[in-house]
Structure 1
Amino acid sequence: MAVLNVSLVSADQEVWSGEASMVVAKTVEGEIGILPGHEPLLAILAHGEVRLTLVGGEKLVADASDGFLSVEGNAVQVVARRAALV
């Protein structure tokens, strides 16, 4: 089973990193869902939630703003000026 290798960082710390089966984030163009095998992507984050579904089914939610989301292969990087788990 393919997984996403996710890194969520803010300006001053790594907020979370690990494996997830899905990432949902709010961008300036609307909400986007990322699954393994997604096309390469670079998007600007809007203020809102980044929702992670972990491989075991557990859910994590972070509040993030002012940054970007990058997808390359099965690697997802969320870089925000401000981000924190809620």
Structure 2
Amino acid sequence: MGQLHVELVAADGKVWEGDASQVIARGVEGDLGILPRHAPLMTVLQPGHVRIDADGGRHDFEVDGGFLTVDSDNVTIVSETARTS
């Protein structure tokens, strides 16, 4: 099925980077599920939970908003703060 390359970045630096099978986050228009081969997308994030399902397990973070982009199986999440939940 393929993989996503995900980067989660906060103001103080990179929080997480790696390959994942899916990303779940809450955009301003509702919950998003990002899988490989997703159409290009840019959205503003609501403060809340971001879930990254990777080969090494599930990674859960709390973000204070920000934005998420998807382009050619590359997912970038940028937030002022991001911490492990």
Work out the CA distance in 1 between the residues paired with 2:23 and 2:49. 10
8 Å Cα contact 1:9-1:79 kept in structure 2: yes
1:44 aligns with 44
Correspondences of 1:4-83 after superposition (within 5 Å) = 4-56=4-56, 58-83=57-82
- What are the superposed Cα offsets for residues 3-24 of structure 1, whole Å, 9 maximum, x if unpaired? 0000001111111000000000
Report the secondary structure of 2:64's partner residue: strand
Rounded Cα–Cα distance in structure 2 between residues aligned with 1:82 and 1:62? 10
Give 1:44 deviation, angstroms.
Answer: 0.2
TM-score, normalised to structure 1, is 0.94
Amino acid at match of 2:78: V
Task: Tell me, yes or no, if the aligned pair for 2:48 and 2:65 is still in contact at 8 Å.
Answer: no
Distance 1:68 1:47 in 2: 10
**Which position in structure 2 is the counterpart of 1:84?**
83
Provide the identity percentage: 42
Could you list the per-position Cα deviations for residues 43-82 of structure 1 after superposition, in whole angstroms to 9, with x for gaps in the alignment? Answer: 00101110011125x1110001231000001000000011
Residues 24 and 50, structure 2, Cα contact 8 Å, conserved in 1 = yes
CA RMSD of aligned residues (A): 1.0
Structure 1 segments unaligned to the other structure (5+ residues)? none
Is the CA contact (8 Å cut-off) linking 1:3 and 1:55 kept in structure 2?
no
Aligned residues: 85
